[in-house]
Amino acid sequence: MTENSRHLQRFQDFLTKKSLRLTSPRRAILEAVHGHESHYTAEELLSLARSIDDSVSRATVYRTLPILQECDIVREIDVGKDFKYYATNRSEDNFQAQVVCVDCDNIFEIDAPFMDWYAKTAAERLGLEVDSQRIQVNAHCTRLRTGQTCEHKAAKTSESLLHSTISTHN
Amino acid sequence: MTENSRHLQRFQDFLTKKSLRLTSPRRAILEAVHGHESHYTAEELLSLARSIDDSVSRATVYRTLPILQECDIVREIDVGKDFKYYATNRSEDNFQAQVVCVDCDNIFEIDAPFMDWYAKTAAERLGLEVDSQRIQVNAHCTRLRTGQTCEHKAAKTSESLLHSTISTHN
DNA sequence: GTGCTTGCAAAGACTTTGCAAACTT
DNA sequence: AAGTTTGCAAAGTCTTTGCAAGCAC
């Protein structure tokens, strides 16, 4: 069973449970969500969804994203810009930190397994219960800073590093 | 030497260095920055600044905040809402994580000393150089969830916890 | 059929910016 | 005097919302 069909299944179940309907725009948006490799904006999702069903409107994308987040199919990533990024939840995902290159806007994700423990401890000290958590590191391209600005290409070649795991426990 | 005067000194030096001017609105805003206890919005800063010099305009607040951030007098805290919070840098501050109560919007800060190490390690793996970092934990009020919603009052009484330190190294 | 959905365009919320007048050095 | 800064209001940017027509079930 592919991830796509697993997500479709989950989406349908969720919609049914809430007496919502599986419409053609929603289907196109779900497909678009799988068409994106990494992080995308609402606008990018709209473009791709429109290439699948050109009647999809911006409003529907914005109305569907919260549903996809509730289904745990998509997650929102706010890196402090004036718009948000979204990413599709792949099955093997652990909690991850975002490393954002401020020169080229690339977003890398790196496992940060200690975060679950930290968040829980921090919240408990305040008598709270963890809802969600987030780590973000903003960084510059050391090597490329001197030459032309940090390039997206450079970032792409680092993709093998994306699944590195960093833990504070050694 | 108080923190206020240290900040004023730093502000003046910075302005001079950049051939900028110490004007009355800027002075009022700097004062307002010290009048706030914890986290404040641009709008709240504007109100307080206006109570000191009622001619201060919203535009000037927005234009002055970036300068204060460059001087390291104020820091920006983006908790993913559609507006930003600001906090005055007090001398004893270490790197801190934000714990945001999603019920009452209170923001607590807790030391997270391991973050420097983590950010550096994560960035290095990608060939980047750390610029800034951020940890945020969103949480609910466990105890108060059942009764009336989590109250701001309740948060205030936890203030003694604000300076707790949590480290992953035990 | 019932009532959830959609697209469109207008509205919203916060922040930024153009401009002429006012002010700091 | 020279050049920065200000307040005002308009512009901007992303996101949300009202509404009548259109669909899914």
- Quote the pLDDT of residue A154: 41
Q: Pick the range with the lowest mean pLDDT from A73-77, A89-93, A161-165, B69-73.
A: A161-165
Q: Comparing C-alpha atoms, which of A44, A47, A98 is closest to residue B136? A: A98
Q: Which of the four pLDDT bands, split at 50, 70 and 90, describes residue B86? A: very high
Interface residues on B facing A, Cβ-Cβ cutoff 8 A: 78, 80, 97, 99, 101-102, 108, 110, 112, 114-115, 117-119, 121-123, 125-143, 158, 161, 164, 166, 168-169
Pairing of strands B96-101, B128-141: parallel
Q: Contact A158/A150 with Cβ under 8 angstroms?
A: no
Taking residues A64-87, report their average pLDDT.
Answer: 93
Q: What is the pLDDT of residue A115?
A: 86
Q: Which of A120-134, B59-73, B141-155 has the lowest mean pLDDT?
A: B141-155
Give the residue with minimal CA–C1' separation from D22.
A23
Q: Do A97 and B122 touch (CB under 8 A)?
A: yes
Mean pLDDT computed over B148-169: 43
Please say whether the beta carbons of A64 and A25 come within 8 A. yes
Q: What is the pLDDT of residue B76?
A: 93
pTM of the model: 0.79
User: Beta carbon of A20 within 7 Å of strand C?
Assistant: yes
Domain boundaries, chain B: 1-92, 93-153
Tokens of A10: 């989950």
Looking at beta carbons, which residues of chain B come within 8 Å of A112? 118, 122
* Nucleotide C7: closest residue by CA–C1': A57
pLDDT digits (tens, 9 = 90+) for A38-57: 899 999 999 999 999 999 99
For the cut 80, the answer to whether the pLDDT of residue B128 exceeds it is yes
Query: Is the per-residue pLDDT at B157 higher than 70?
Result: no
Residue where the block lists tokens 């745990």: A72
Q: Which of B83, B125, B126 to mutate to test the interface with A (most CBs of A within 10 A)?
A: B126
Q: Which amino acid makes up residue B89?
A: N
- Give me the pLDDT at residue B14, please: 95
Contact flag B158-A99 (C-beta cutoff 8 Å): no
Q: Which residues pair with A28 in a beta bridge?
A: none
Of the pLDDT bands very low, low, confident and very high (cuts 50, 70, 90), residue B43 is: very high
Please tell me whether residue A139 adopts helix, strand or coil conformation: strand
The values of phi and psi at residue A163, to 5°, are -100, 15
Question: If you average pLDDT over residues B44-58, what whole number do you get?
Answer: 95
CATH class of segment(s) B93-153: alpha beta
B10-42 pLDDT per residue, tens: 999 999 999 999 999 999 999 999 998 889 999
pLDDT higher than 70, residue B56: yes
pLDDT band at B169 (very low <50, low <70, confident <90, very high): very low
Q: CA A104, A105, A108, A109: dihedral to nearest 10 degrees? A: 160
Give residue B168's pLDDT band: very low, low, confident or very high (50, 70, 90): very low
Pick the residue of A131, A137, A158 with the most B CBs within 10 A to test the interface with B by mutation: A137
Give backbone dihedrals phi and psi of A55, rounded to 5 degrees, phi first. Answer: -95, -5
Secondary structure (3-state) at A71 = coil
Confidence (pLDDT) at A155: 40
Q: Which residue, among A130, A124, A126, has the nearest Cα to A95 in the 3D structure? A: A130
CATH class of B1-92: mainly alpha
Q: How far is A134 from chain B (nearest CA, A)?
A: 5
pLDDT at B165: 53
Measured distance CA(A11)–CA(A74) in Å, rounded: 11
| CB contact (8 A) between residue B169 and residue A164 | no
**Chain D: nucleotides under 7 Å from a protein CB?**
3-9, 13-18, 23-25
3-state SS string over chain B? Answer: CCHHHHHHHHHHHHHHHCCCCCCHHHHHHHHHHHHCCCEEEHHHHHHHHHHHCCCCCHHHHHHHHHHHHHCCCEEEECCCCCCCEEEECCCCCCCEEEEEECCCCCEEEEECCHHHHHHHHHHHHCCEEEEEEEEEEEEEECCCCCCCCCCHHHHHCCHHHHHCECCCCC
- Residue A1's pLDDT is 67
Answer for B56: CB within 7 Å of strand D.
yes
At A129, is the pLDDT very low, low, confident or very high (cuts 50, 70, 90)?
confident
CA of B30 to C1' of C25 (A): 21
Q: pLDDT band for position A144 (50/70/90)?
A: low
- Among the residue ranges A27-36, B88-97, B98-107, the one predicted with the least confidence is B88-97
List residues of chain A with CB under 8 Å from any CB of chain B: 78, 80, 97, 99, 101-102, 108, 110, 112, 114-115, 117-119, 121-123, 125-143, 158, 161, 164, 166, 168-169
**Is B126 close to A114, i.e. CB distance below 8 A?**
no
